[in-house]
Structure 1
Amino acid sequence: MASAGPTTPRGLALRRAALVALALFGIATVAALVLRSRPDSDLPPVTVAAGATDGTVVRRYDLRSASAGRRLVQTVVLPPGDLRGRPLLVLLHARAQDPTSLAQAPLRAALARLGHRAPVVLLPADDGGSYWHDRDSGAWGSYVLYEAIPTAIRRLGLDGSRMAIGGISMGGAGAFALARAAPGRFCAVGGHSAAVWTSASAADPGAYDDAEDFDRNEPLGPVRRGEDRPYGVPLWLDAGTDDRFLPADRTFARALRARGEDVSFSTGPGGHEPRYWQRHMGRYLDFYAGALADCAARR
Protein backbone atom coordinates (compact mmCIF):
# COMPACT_ATOMS: atom_id res chain seq x y z
CA MET A 1 0.00 0.00 0.00
CA ALA A 2 1.32 3.45 -0.90
CA SER A 3 2.13 5.73 2.01
CA ALA A 4 0.32 9.07 2.49
CA GLY A 5 3.33 11.08 1.29
CA PRO A 6 3.15 14.83 0.67
CA THR A 7 2.55 14.38 -3.09
CA THR A 8 0.03 11.52 -3.05
CA PRO A 9 -3.71 12.36 -3.26
CA ARG A 10 -4.18 11.27 0.33
CA GLY A 11 -1.16 13.28 1.45
CA LEU A 12 -2.40 16.40 -0.32
CA ALA A 13 -5.83 15.96 1.24
CA LEU A 14 -4.31 15.65 4.70
CA ARG A 15 -2.18 18.72 4.09
CA ARG A 16 -5.22 20.74 2.99
CA ALA A 17 -7.15 19.60 6.05
CA ALA A 18 -4.29 20.68 8.29
CA LEU A 19 -4.14 24.08 6.64
CA VAL A 20 -7.89 24.56 7.03
CA ALA A 21 -7.68 23.61 10.71
CA LEU A 22 -4.82 26.06 11.21
CA ALA A 23 -6.76 28.83 9.49
CA LEU A 24 -9.83 28.17 11.63
CA PHE A 25 -7.69 28.23 14.75
CA GLY A 26 -6.29 31.61 13.69
CA ILE A 27 -9.76 33.02 13.09
CA ALA A 28 -10.95 31.78 16.46
CA THR A 29 -7.92 33.33 18.15
CA VAL A 30 -8.51 36.72 16.54
CA ALA A 31 -12.22 36.51 17.38
CA ALA A 32 -11.40 35.86 21.02
CA LEU A 33 -9.17 38.93 21.08
CA VAL A 34 -11.90 41.04 19.48
CA LEU A 35 -14.63 39.97 21.88
CA ARG A 36 -12.56 40.26 25.02
CA SER A 37 -9.95 42.88 25.77
CA ARG A 38 -8.95 41.21 29.02
CA PRO A 39 -9.87 37.93 30.70
CA ASP A 40 -10.34 39.26 34.24
CA SER A 41 -13.43 41.46 33.85
CA ASP A 42 -14.88 42.63 37.13
CA LEU A 43 -18.32 43.32 35.69
CA PRO A 44 -21.08 41.30 37.35
CA PRO A 45 -23.65 39.43 35.27
CA VAL A 46 -26.58 41.51 34.08
CA THR A 47 -29.86 40.53 35.70
CA VAL A 48 -33.31 41.33 34.38
CA ALA A 49 -36.39 41.33 36.59
CA ALA A 50 -38.99 38.63 36.11
CA GLY A 51 -41.65 39.76 33.69
CA ALA A 52 -39.54 42.59 32.27
CA THR A 53 -39.50 41.00 28.81
CA ASP A 54 -43.20 40.11 28.70
CA GLY A 55 -44.79 40.70 25.32
CA THR A 56 -41.55 40.66 23.34
CA VAL A 57 -41.05 37.95 20.74
CA VAL A 58 -37.98 36.64 18.90
CA ARG A 59 -38.54 35.30 15.40
CA ARG A 60 -36.25 33.92 12.72
CA TYR A 61 -36.60 33.44 8.99
CA ASP A 62 -34.35 32.52 6.10
CA LEU A 63 -33.19 34.95 3.45
CA ARG A 64 -31.51 33.75 0.27
CA SER A 65 -29.02 36.52 -0.43
CA ALA A 66 -27.81 37.06 -3.98
CA SER A 67 -25.31 39.65 -2.72
CA ALA A 68 -23.68 37.31 -0.20
CA GLY A 69 -24.27 34.19 -2.29
CA ARG A 70 -25.77 32.12 0.51
CA ARG A 71 -28.76 31.52 2.75
CA LEU A 72 -28.69 33.66 5.88
CA VAL A 73 -30.92 33.47 8.95
CA GLN A 74 -32.51 36.76 9.98
CA THR A 75 -33.44 37.33 13.61
CA VAL A 76 -36.02 39.96 14.56
CA VAL A 77 -36.96 41.04 18.06
CA LEU A 78 -40.54 42.28 18.21
CA PRO A 79 -41.81 44.67 20.88
CA PRO A 80 -45.22 44.24 22.48
CA GLY A 81 -48.22 45.58 20.60
CA ASP A 82 -49.13 46.24 16.99
CA LEU A 83 -46.11 46.16 14.66
CA ARG A 84 -47.64 47.99 11.72
CA GLY A 85 -45.90 51.29 11.06
CA ARG A 86 -43.20 50.71 13.65
CA PRO A 87 -39.68 52.00 12.97
CA LEU A 88 -36.77 49.63 12.40
CA LEU A 89 -33.48 49.38 14.25
CA VAL A 90 -30.78 47.39 12.44
CA LEU A 91 -28.29 46.10 15.01
CA LEU A 92 -25.14 44.50 13.59
CA HIS A 93 -23.29 41.92 15.65
CA ALA A 94 -19.59 41.71 16.48
CA ARG A 95 -17.01 39.50 14.84
CA ALA A 96 -17.69 35.79 15.42
CA GLN A 97 -20.71 36.71 17.55
CA ASP A 98 -23.97 34.81 17.16
CA PRO A 99 -26.58 37.47 16.34
CA THR A 100 -29.11 35.67 18.52
CA SER A 101 -26.89 36.41 21.53
CA LEU A 102 -28.05 40.02 21.22
CA ALA A 103 -31.72 38.98 21.35
CA GLN A 104 -31.50 38.21 25.04
CA ALA A 105 -33.22 39.63 28.10
CA PRO A 106 -31.39 43.01 28.32
CA LEU A 107 -32.47 44.02 24.81
CA ARG A 108 -35.97 42.57 25.16
CA ALA A 109 -36.51 44.31 28.51
CA ALA A 110 -35.41 47.61 26.99
CA LEU A 111 -37.91 47.17 24.15
CA ALA A 112 -40.74 46.33 26.51
CA ARG A 113 -39.99 49.39 28.62
CA LEU A 114 -40.17 51.69 25.59
CA GLY A 115 -43.78 50.76 24.92
CA HIS A 116 -45.26 52.30 21.77
CA ARG A 117 -41.91 54.01 20.97
CA ALA A 118 -40.07 50.70 20.65
CA PRO A 119 -38.72 49.80 17.22
CA VAL A 120 -38.55 46.35 15.74
CA VAL A 121 -34.92 45.17 15.95
CA LEU A 122 -33.35 43.35 13.00
CA LEU A 123 -30.27 41.23 13.73
CA PRO A 124 -28.85 40.11 10.37
CA ALA A 125 -26.45 37.19 10.10
CA ASP A 126 -23.18 37.19 8.14
CA ASP A 127 -20.21 34.84 7.71
CA GLY A 128 -18.81 35.81 11.11
CA GLY A 129 -16.22 38.28 9.85
CA SER A 130 -17.72 40.38 7.06
CA TYR A 131 -17.12 43.74 8.72
CA TRP A 132 -20.40 44.58 7.00
CA HIS A 133 -19.02 45.92 3.73
CA ASP A 134 -18.72 44.70 0.16
CA ARG A 135 -15.49 42.72 -0.14
CA ASP A 136 -13.95 39.59 -1.64
CA SER A 137 -16.02 37.22 0.52
CA GLY A 138 -19.33 38.78 -0.48
CA ALA A 139 -21.25 42.01 -0.99
CA TRP A 140 -22.17 42.23 2.70
CA GLY A 141 -23.03 45.92 2.72
CA SER A 142 -25.34 45.50 -0.28
CA TYR A 143 -26.94 42.49 1.42
CA VAL A 144 -27.87 44.56 4.48
CA LEU A 145 -29.02 47.67 2.61
CA TYR A 146 -30.86 46.09 -0.31
CA GLU A 147 -31.94 42.65 0.90
CA ALA A 148 -32.11 42.27 4.70
CA ILE A 149 -33.69 45.67 5.42
CA PRO A 150 -36.32 45.68 2.65
CA THR A 151 -37.30 42.10 3.49
CA ALA A 152 -37.87 42.94 7.17
CA ILE A 153 -39.91 46.03 6.28
CA ARG A 154 -42.07 44.11 3.83
CA ARG A 155 -42.62 41.05 6.05
CA LEU A 156 -43.52 43.03 9.17
CA GLY A 157 -45.29 46.09 7.72
CA LEU A 158 -42.78 48.58 9.13
CA ASP A 159 -42.27 52.27 8.39
CA GLY A 160 -39.33 52.25 5.97
CA SER A 161 -38.84 56.01 6.34
CA ARG A 162 -37.85 55.62 10.00
CA MET A 163 -34.76 53.49 10.42
CA ALA A 164 -31.70 53.58 12.65
CA ILE A 165 -28.55 51.49 12.41
CA GLY A 166 -26.03 50.54 15.05
CA GLY A 167 -23.72 47.74 15.99
CA ILE A 168 -21.35 46.08 18.40
CA SER A 169 -17.58 46.16 17.71
CA MET A 170 -17.30 45.05 14.07
CA GLY A 171 -20.96 45.97 13.74
CA GLY A 172 -20.34 49.48 15.05
CA ALA A 173 -17.75 50.19 12.39
CA GLY A 174 -20.05 48.61 9.82
CA ALA A 175 -23.01 50.75 10.90
CA PHE A 176 -21.09 53.96 10.25
CA ALA A 177 -19.77 52.64 6.94
CA LEU A 178 -23.26 51.66 5.76
CA ALA A 179 -24.79 54.97 6.84
CA ARG A 180 -22.06 56.72 4.88
CA ALA A 181 -22.86 54.58 1.85
CA ALA A 182 -26.58 55.40 2.09
CA PRO A 183 -26.78 59.07 3.09
CA GLY A 184 -30.15 60.19 4.36
CA ARG A 185 -31.47 56.68 4.82
CA PHE A 186 -31.01 56.38 8.60
CA CYS A 187 -32.32 58.59 11.39
CA ALA A 188 -29.47 57.70 13.78
CA VAL A 189 -26.20 55.77 13.80
CA GLY A 190 -24.48 54.11 16.75
CA GLY A 191 -21.23 52.31 17.41
CA HIS A 192 -20.87 50.41 20.68
CA SER A 193 -17.19 49.57 21.22
CA ALA A 194 -16.82 50.21 17.50
CA ALA A 195 -13.86 48.36 15.94
CA VAL A 196 -12.12 51.44 14.54
CA TRP A 197 -8.46 51.63 13.62
CA THR A 198 -6.37 54.67 12.74
CA SER A 199 -4.41 52.88 10.00
CA ALA A 200 -4.60 49.77 7.82
CA SER A 201 -1.47 48.37 9.44
CA ALA A 202 -3.12 48.51 12.87
CA ALA A 203 -6.26 46.60 11.81
CA ASP A 204 -6.83 43.02 12.92
CA PRO A 205 -6.03 40.35 10.31
CA GLY A 206 -9.06 39.68 8.16
CA ALA A 207 -10.93 42.84 9.08
CA TYR A 208 -10.26 44.20 5.59
CA ASP A 209 -9.03 42.48 2.45
CA ASP A 210 -6.11 44.88 1.96
CA ALA A 211 -5.11 48.53 2.38
CA GLU A 212 -7.39 49.63 -0.46
CA ASP A 213 -10.36 47.86 1.11
CA PHE A 214 -9.53 49.55 4.41
CA ASP A 215 -9.41 53.01 2.80
CA ARG A 216 -12.73 52.45 1.05
CA ASN A 217 -14.69 51.16 4.02
CA GLU A 218 -13.26 52.14 7.41
CA PRO A 219 -15.22 55.02 8.97
CA LEU A 220 -12.56 57.29 10.52
CA GLY A 221 -10.27 58.26 7.64
CA PRO A 222 -12.86 59.83 5.35
CA VAL A 223 -14.19 61.97 8.21
CA ARG A 224 -10.70 63.20 9.13
CA ARG A 225 -9.98 64.02 5.51
CA GLY A 226 -13.31 65.77 5.02
CA GLU A 227 -14.19 63.56 2.06
CA ASP A 228 -17.72 62.55 3.00
CA ARG A 229 -21.05 64.24 3.20
CA PRO A 230 -22.03 64.84 6.84
CA TYR A 231 -24.14 62.19 8.52
CA GLY A 232 -26.48 64.93 9.70
CA VAL A 233 -28.31 62.74 12.24
CA PRO A 234 -27.75 61.93 15.93
CA LEU A 235 -24.66 59.75 16.40
CA TRP A 236 -23.56 57.62 19.35
CA LEU A 237 -20.18 56.17 20.27
CA ASP A 238 -19.16 54.46 23.50
CA ALA A 239 -16.51 52.04 24.77
CA GLY A 240 -15.39 50.61 28.09
CA THR A 241 -12.47 52.06 29.98
CA ASP A 242 -10.54 48.82 29.42
CA ASP A 243 -11.49 48.47 25.75
CA ARG A 244 -8.59 48.52 23.32
CA PHE A 245 -10.77 50.45 20.85
CA LEU A 246 -11.44 53.32 23.27
CA PRO A 247 -8.62 55.60 22.00
CA ALA A 248 -9.64 55.23 18.34
CA ASP A 249 -13.33 55.60 19.19
CA ARG A 250 -12.57 58.81 21.07
CA THR A 251 -10.54 60.05 18.09
CA PHE A 252 -13.47 59.21 15.80
CA ALA A 253 -15.92 61.13 18.02
CA ARG A 254 -13.64 64.17 18.04
CA ALA A 255 -13.28 64.05 14.26
CA LEU A 256 -17.04 63.88 13.85
CA ARG A 257 -17.58 66.83 16.18
CA ALA A 258 -14.98 68.82 14.26
CA ARG A 259 -17.19 68.29 11.20
CA GLY A 260 -20.18 69.66 13.11
CA GLU A 261 -21.86 66.31 13.77
CA ASP A 262 -24.17 65.71 16.74
CA VAL A 263 -22.23 63.03 18.64
CA SER A 264 -22.90 61.50 22.04
CA PHE A 265 -19.76 59.88 23.41
CA SER A 266 -19.45 58.01 26.69
CA THR A 267 -17.30 55.49 28.48
CA GLY A 268 -17.60 53.42 31.62
CA PRO A 269 -16.22 50.40 33.45
CA GLY A 270 -15.60 47.33 31.33
CA GLY A 271 -13.67 45.91 28.41
CA HIS A 272 -14.60 44.64 24.97
CA GLU A 273 -17.13 42.15 26.25
CA PRO A 274 -20.81 41.18 26.23
CA ARG A 275 -21.39 42.17 29.85
CA TYR A 276 -20.39 45.75 29.05
CA TRP A 277 -22.85 45.93 26.12
CA GLN A 278 -25.63 44.24 28.10
CA ARG A 279 -25.22 46.77 30.93
CA HIS A 280 -25.77 49.63 28.48
CA MET A 281 -28.43 48.10 26.23
CA GLY A 282 -31.18 50.18 27.81
CA ARG A 283 -29.29 53.40 27.09
CA TYR A 284 -28.66 52.30 23.52
CA LEU A 285 -32.35 51.62 22.91
CA ASP A 286 -33.34 54.93 24.54
CA PHE A 287 -31.03 56.75 22.13
CA TYR A 288 -32.37 55.02 19.04
CA ALA A 289 -36.02 55.37 20.08
CA GLY A 290 -35.59 59.08 20.79
CA ALA A 291 -33.87 59.69 17.45
CA LEU A 292 -36.55 57.74 15.59
CA ALA A 293 -39.33 59.73 17.29
CA ASP A 294 -37.60 63.02 16.38
CA CYS A 295 -37.16 61.74 12.84
CA ALA A 296 -40.90 61.12 12.56
CA ALA A 297 -41.63 64.65 13.80
CA ARG A 298 -39.26 66.16 11.20
CA ARG A 299 -40.77 64.16 8.36
Structure 2
Amino acid sequence: MAVMNIEYYSEVLDMEWGVTVLYPDASRVTEPDCTDIPVLYLLHGMSGNQNSWLKRTNVERLLRGTNLIVIMPNTNNGWYTDTQYGFNYFTALAEELPQVMKRFFPNMTSKREKTFIAGLSMGGYGSFKLALATDRFSHAASFSGALSFQEFSPESQDLGSLAYWRGVFGEIKDWTASPHSLESMAARSDKKTKLWAWCGEQDYLYSANNLAVKNLKNLGFEVTYSHSPGKHEWYYWEKQLERFLATLPIDFVLEERLS
Protein backbone atom coordinates (compact mmCIF):
# COMPACT_ATOMS: atom_id res chain seq x y z
CA MET A 1 0.00 0.00 0.00
CA ALA A 2 1.34 3.40 -1.00
CA VAL A 3 1.16 6.37 1.38
CA MET A 4 0.96 9.75 -0.33
CA ASN A 5 1.03 13.24 1.13
CA ILE A 6 -0.56 15.54 -1.42
CA GLU A 7 -0.63 19.33 -1.39
CA TYR A 8 -2.86 21.27 -3.75
CA TYR A 9 -4.22 24.77 -4.01
CA SER A 10 -7.78 24.93 -2.74
CA GLU A 11 -9.79 27.49 -4.69
CA VAL A 12 -12.55 27.24 -2.09
CA LEU A 13 -10.27 27.92 0.88
CA ASP A 14 -7.92 30.19 -1.08
CA MET A 15 -4.81 28.49 0.30
CA GLU A 16 -2.49 25.54 -0.08
CA TRP A 17 -4.17 22.49 1.40
CA GLY A 18 -3.07 18.98 2.34
CA VAL A 19 -4.53 15.50 2.18
CA THR A 20 -3.04 12.07 2.93
CA VAL A 21 -3.98 9.15 0.70
CA LEU A 22 -3.51 5.40 1.07
CA TYR A 23 -3.49 3.65 -2.30
CA PRO A 24 -3.97 -0.14 -2.57
CA ASP A 25 -1.28 -2.46 -3.87
CA ALA A 26 -1.78 -3.83 -7.37
CA SER A 27 -2.49 -7.26 -5.92
CA ARG A 28 -5.55 -5.84 -4.14
CA VAL A 29 -7.11 -4.43 -7.30
CA THR A 30 -9.05 -7.18 -9.03
CA GLU A 31 -8.45 -5.83 -12.52
CA PRO A 32 -5.13 -4.08 -13.29
CA ASP A 33 -6.87 -1.52 -15.51
CA CYS A 34 -9.79 -1.04 -13.13
CA THR A 35 -11.40 2.39 -13.30
CA ASP A 36 -13.78 1.72 -10.44
CA ILE A 37 -11.68 1.37 -7.27
CA PRO A 38 -13.80 1.93 -4.12
CA VAL A 39 -12.94 4.86 -1.87
CA LEU A 40 -13.17 5.61 1.85
CA TYR A 41 -12.97 9.15 3.21
CA LEU A 42 -11.54 8.91 6.75
CA LEU A 43 -11.98 12.01 8.93
CA HIS A 44 -10.07 13.27 11.96
CA GLY A 45 -11.32 14.78 15.22
CA MET A 46 -10.66 18.06 17.02
CA SER A 47 -7.02 19.18 17.16
CA GLY A 48 -6.14 16.63 14.47
CA ASN A 49 -5.25 16.82 10.79
CA GLN A 50 -4.83 14.67 7.70
CA ASN A 51 -2.09 12.59 9.38
CA SER A 52 -3.87 11.82 12.66
CA TRP A 53 -5.05 8.32 11.76
CA LEU A 54 -1.58 7.36 10.52
CA LYS A 55 0.17 8.73 13.61
CA ARG A 56 -2.19 7.40 16.27
CA THR A 57 -3.28 3.99 14.92
CA ASN A 58 -2.17 1.03 12.82
CA VAL A 59 -4.53 2.07 10.07
CA GLU A 60 -2.01 1.33 7.32
CA ARG A 61 -1.66 -2.27 8.52
CA LEU A 62 -5.41 -2.58 8.85
CA LEU A 63 -6.19 -1.21 5.39
CA ARG A 64 -3.49 -3.03 3.44
CA GLY A 65 -5.86 -6.00 3.29
CA THR A 66 -8.47 -3.98 1.40
CA ASN A 67 -8.88 -2.75 -2.16
CA LEU A 68 -9.75 0.75 -0.97
CA ILE A 69 -8.36 4.14 -1.84
CA VAL A 70 -8.41 5.92 1.53
CA ILE A 71 -8.54 9.72 1.56
CA MET A 72 -7.75 11.50 4.83
CA PRO A 73 -8.47 15.23 4.47
CA ASN A 74 -7.86 18.12 6.84
CA THR A 75 -10.47 20.50 8.23
CA ASN A 76 -8.53 22.07 11.13
CA ASN A 77 -11.05 22.61 13.95
CA GLY A 78 -13.71 23.72 11.48
CA TRP A 79 -16.22 20.89 12.07
CA TYR A 80 -16.52 20.08 8.35
CA THR A 81 -18.61 23.23 8.14
CA ASP A 82 -18.79 26.43 6.12
CA THR A 83 -17.86 28.59 9.09
CA GLN A 84 -19.08 32.03 10.04
CA TYR A 85 -15.51 33.35 9.74
CA GLY A 86 -15.23 32.61 6.05
CA PHE A 87 -13.46 29.25 5.77
CA ASN A 88 -15.81 27.01 3.81
CA TYR A 89 -14.55 23.62 4.91
CA PHE A 90 -17.76 21.81 4.02
CA THR A 91 -17.73 23.05 0.42
CA ALA A 92 -14.02 22.33 0.14
CA LEU A 93 -14.48 18.71 1.22
CA ALA A 94 -17.92 17.93 -0.19
CA GLU A 95 -17.45 19.44 -3.64
CA GLU A 96 -13.85 20.41 -4.38
CA LEU A 97 -11.92 17.51 -2.81
CA PRO A 98 -13.62 14.69 -4.79
CA GLN A 99 -12.88 16.56 -8.02
CA VAL A 100 -9.24 17.09 -7.06
CA MET A 101 -8.81 13.45 -6.05
CA LYS A 102 -10.39 12.27 -9.28
CA ARG A 103 -7.75 14.21 -11.21
CA PHE A 104 -4.99 12.55 -9.19
CA PHE A 105 -6.63 9.11 -9.29
CA PRO A 106 -8.82 8.78 -12.41
CA ASN A 107 -9.45 5.11 -11.59
CA MET A 108 -11.20 6.07 -8.33
CA THR A 109 -14.89 5.18 -8.39
CA SER A 110 -17.62 7.72 -8.98
CA LYS A 111 -20.35 5.30 -7.91
CA ARG A 112 -22.23 5.90 -4.68
CA GLU A 113 -22.39 2.22 -3.81
CA LYS A 114 -18.57 2.13 -3.70
CA THR A 115 -18.04 5.43 -1.87
CA PHE A 116 -17.82 5.37 1.94
CA ILE A 117 -17.03 7.78 4.78
CA ALA A 118 -16.09 7.42 8.45
CA GLY A 119 -14.69 9.56 11.23
CA LEU A 120 -14.05 9.91 14.95
CA SER A 121 -15.47 12.49 17.39
CA MET A 122 -15.71 15.73 15.36
CA GLY A 123 -15.09 13.54 12.32
CA GLY A 124 -18.03 11.32 13.27
CA TYR A 125 -20.23 14.38 13.01
CA GLY A 126 -18.48 15.27 9.75
CA SER A 127 -19.01 11.78 8.36
CA PHE A 128 -22.76 11.83 8.97
CA LYS A 129 -23.01 15.46 7.88
CA LEU A 130 -21.28 14.94 4.54
CA ALA A 131 -23.29 11.77 3.91
CA LEU A 132 -26.68 13.30 4.76
CA ALA A 133 -26.09 16.62 3.03
CA THR A 134 -24.71 15.24 -0.25
CA ASP A 135 -26.32 11.78 -0.71
CA ARG A 136 -23.03 10.63 -2.27
CA PHE A 137 -22.08 7.89 0.19
CA SER A 138 -23.61 4.45 0.52
CA HIS A 139 -22.21 3.88 4.03
CA ALA A 140 -21.22 6.36 6.75
CA ALA A 141 -19.69 5.58 10.15
CA SER A 142 -19.21 7.53 13.35
CA PHE A 143 -16.85 6.49 16.15
CA SER A 144 -17.62 8.39 19.37
CA GLY A 145 -19.13 11.08 17.19
CA ALA A 146 -20.22 14.50 18.42
CA LEU A 147 -23.58 13.82 16.82
CA SER A 148 -25.74 16.23 18.78
CA PHE A 149 -25.45 19.42 20.81
CA GLN A 150 -29.08 19.25 21.85
CA GLU A 151 -28.25 18.33 25.44
CA PHE A 152 -24.47 18.79 25.34
CA SER A 153 -22.59 22.04 25.94
CA PRO A 154 -19.12 21.83 24.34
CA GLU A 155 -17.78 24.82 26.28
CA SER A 156 -18.58 22.95 29.51
CA GLN A 157 -16.06 20.30 28.43
CA ASP A 158 -13.21 22.81 27.93
CA LEU A 159 -13.41 22.28 24.19
CA GLY A 160 -13.27 25.93 23.25
CA SER A 161 -14.70 29.33 24.01
CA LEU A 162 -18.20 30.53 23.23
CA ALA A 163 -16.67 32.81 20.59
CA TYR A 164 -15.09 29.78 18.90
CA TRP A 165 -18.36 27.84 18.72
CA ARG A 166 -20.24 30.87 17.42
CA GLY A 167 -17.51 31.29 14.82
CA VAL A 168 -18.16 27.78 13.57
CA PHE A 169 -21.95 27.42 13.84
CA GLY A 170 -23.23 30.92 14.52
CA GLU A 171 -25.76 31.73 17.20
CA ILE A 172 -27.76 28.60 17.99
CA LYS A 173 -30.68 28.51 20.39
CA ASP A 174 -32.29 25.26 19.22
CA TRP A 175 -29.78 22.70 17.92
CA THR A 176 -32.21 20.34 16.23
CA ALA A 177 -33.72 23.24 14.27
CA SER A 178 -30.27 24.50 13.26
CA PRO A 179 -29.18 23.92 9.64
CA HIS A 180 -26.02 22.39 11.14
CA SER A 181 -27.83 19.63 13.01
CA LEU A 182 -27.90 16.11 11.62
CA GLU A 183 -31.66 16.07 12.07
CA SER A 184 -32.07 19.06 9.74
CA MET A 185 -29.86 17.48 7.09
CA ALA A 186 -31.53 14.09 7.51
CA ALA A 187 -34.93 15.61 6.77
CA ARG A 188 -33.65 16.66 3.33
CA SER A 189 -31.70 13.46 2.58
CA ASP A 190 -32.88 10.66 0.30
CA LYS A 191 -32.36 8.27 3.27
CA LYS A 192 -30.43 5.73 1.21
CA THR A 193 -27.19 5.99 3.19
CA LYS A 194 -26.61 3.19 5.69
CA LEU A 195 -25.47 4.76 8.96
CA TRP A 196 -23.18 2.95 11.41
CA ALA A 197 -22.29 4.29 14.86
CA TRP A 198 -20.46 3.22 18.00
CA CYS A 199 -19.78 5.04 21.26
CA GLY A 200 -18.15 4.00 24.51
CA GLU A 201 -20.39 3.92 27.55
CA GLN A 202 -17.87 5.97 29.57
CA ASP A 203 -17.51 8.57 26.81
CA TYR A 204 -18.78 12.09 27.52
CA LEU A 205 -20.55 11.91 24.14
CA TYR A 206 -22.48 8.74 24.96
CA SER A 207 -25.79 10.48 25.72
CA ALA A 208 -25.43 12.63 22.61
CA ASN A 209 -25.03 9.47 20.52
CA ASN A 210 -28.09 7.84 22.07
CA LEU A 211 -30.17 10.93 21.36
CA ALA A 212 -28.96 11.48 17.79
CA VAL A 213 -29.38 7.82 16.82
CA LYS A 214 -32.91 7.82 18.21
CA ASN A 215 -33.77 10.95 16.23
CA LEU A 216 -32.27 9.58 13.00
CA LYS A 217 -34.17 6.31 13.34
CA ASN A 218 -37.39 8.26 13.92
CA LEU A 219 -36.67 10.08 10.67
CA GLY A 220 -36.60 6.77 8.80
CA PHE A 221 -32.88 6.01 8.60
CA GLU A 222 -31.27 2.60 8.81
CA VAL A 223 -28.79 3.01 11.68
CA THR A 224 -26.63 0.21 13.02
CA TYR A 225 -25.73 1.39 16.51
CA SER A 226 -23.67 -0.32 19.18
CA HIS A 227 -22.11 0.67 22.46
CA SER A 228 -19.80 -1.04 24.90
CA PRO A 229 -17.44 -0.14 27.73
CA GLY A 230 -15.02 2.44 26.45
CA LYS A 231 -13.69 5.98 26.66
CA HIS A 232 -12.94 8.75 24.17
CA GLU A 233 -9.69 7.13 23.03
CA TRP A 234 -7.88 5.96 19.89
CA TYR A 235 -7.66 2.39 21.17
CA TYR A 236 -11.40 1.99 20.66
CA TRP A 237 -11.61 3.91 17.38
CA GLU A 238 -9.11 1.64 15.67
CA LYS A 239 -11.11 -1.42 16.72
CA GLN A 240 -14.36 0.13 15.53
CA LEU A 241 -12.86 1.05 12.16
CA GLU A 242 -11.96 -2.61 11.75
CA ARG A 243 -15.53 -3.63 12.56
CA PHE A 244 -16.94 -1.09 10.11
CA LEU A 245 -14.66 -2.20 7.28
CA ALA A 246 -15.93 -5.75 7.71
CA THR A 247 -19.47 -4.55 6.88
CA LEU A 248 -18.56 -2.86 3.60
CA PRO A 249 -18.94 -4.42 0.13
CA ILE A 250 -15.17 -4.48 -0.42
CA ASP A 251 -12.33 -6.99 -0.49
CA PHE A 252 -11.09 -7.43 3.09
CA VAL A 253 -8.51 -10.17 3.62
CA LEU A 254 -8.67 -11.44 7.20
CA GLU A 255 -5.32 -13.20 7.33
CA GLU A 256 -3.44 -10.10 6.20
CA ARG A 257 -5.45 -7.96 8.58
CA LEU A 258 -4.02 -9.99 11.47
CA SER A 259 -0.43 -10.28 10.25
TM-score, normalisation: structure 1: 0.69
How far is 1:217 from its partner?
1.3
Question: Which residue of structure 1 lines up, in the alignment, with residue 147 of structure 2?
Answer: 196
Question: Which residue of structure 1 lines up, in the alignment, with residue 42 of structure 2?
Answer: 91
Read off the aligned partner of 1:61 and give its amino acid letter: I
Question: Which residue of structure 2 lines up, in the alignment, with residue 28 of structure 1?
Answer: none
Structure 1: runs of 5 or more not aligned: 1-55, 294-299
Read off the aligned partner of 1:122 and give its amino acid letter: I
Instruction: Report 1:1-299 matches (<5 A).
Output: 56-81=1-26, 82=29, 84-103=35-54, 106-114=58-66, 118-126=67-75, 128-137=76-85, 138-156=87-105, 157-161=107-111, 162-183=114-135, 185-199=136-150, 202-204=153-155, 205=160, 206-207=164-165, 208-212=168-172, 215-220=178-183, 223=186, 227-287=187-247, 289-290=248-249
Name segments (4+ residues, structure 1) moved above 6 Å. none
Question: Which residue of structure 2 lines up, in the alignment, with residue 8 of structure 1?
Answer: none
Question: Which residue of structure 2 lines up, in the alignment, with residue 12 of structure 1?
Answer: none
Read off the aligned partner of 2:71 and give its amino acid letter: L
Structure 2: runs of 5 or more not aligned: 252-259
CA contact (8 A) 1:86 1:120 kept: yes
Q: Structure 1 vs Structure 2: percent identity of aligned residues?
A: 21
Distance change (3 Å), C-alpha of 1:136 and 1:286: same
Write the deviation string for residues 3-33 of structure 1: whole angstroms up to 9, x where unpaired: xxxxxxxxxxxxxxxxxxxxxxxxxxxxxxx
Write the deviation string for residues 62-101 of structure 1: whole angstroms up to 9, x where unpaired: 1211212221111001222247421111111101113212
Looking at structure 2, the residues matched to 136 and 67 of structure 1 have their Cα atoms a distance apart, in angstroms, of 15
Q: Which has the larger radius of gyration?
A: 1
TM-score, normalisation: structure 2: 0.79
CA contact (8 A) 1:239 1:266 kept: yes
Taking only aligned residues, the RMSD between alpha carbons, in angstroms, comes to 2.4
Write the deviation string for residues 159-214 of structure 1: whole angstroms up to 9, x where unpaired: 1113112211111111222222212x111111111112343872444343323596
Looking at structure 2, the residues matched to 171 and 211 of structure 1 have their Cα atoms a distance apart, in angstroms, of 22
Looking at structure 2, the residues matched to 249 and 199 of structure 1 have their Cα atoms a distance apart, in angstroms, of 11
Count of matched residue positions in the alignment of Structure 1 and Structure 2: 228
Distance change (3 Å), C-alpha of 1:278 and 1:111: same
Looking at structure 1, the residues matched to 207 and 190 of structure 2 have their Cα atoms a distance apart, in angstroms, of 22
Looking at structure 2, the residues matched to 106 and 267 of structure 1 have their Cα atoms a distance apart, in angstroms, of 22
Looking at structure 2, the residues matched to 99 and 79 of structure 1 have their Cα atoms a distance apart, in angstroms, of 18
Looking at structure 2, the residues matched to 154 and 231 of structure 1 have their Cα atoms a distance apart, in angstroms, of 29
CA contact (8 A) 1:200 1:211 kept: no
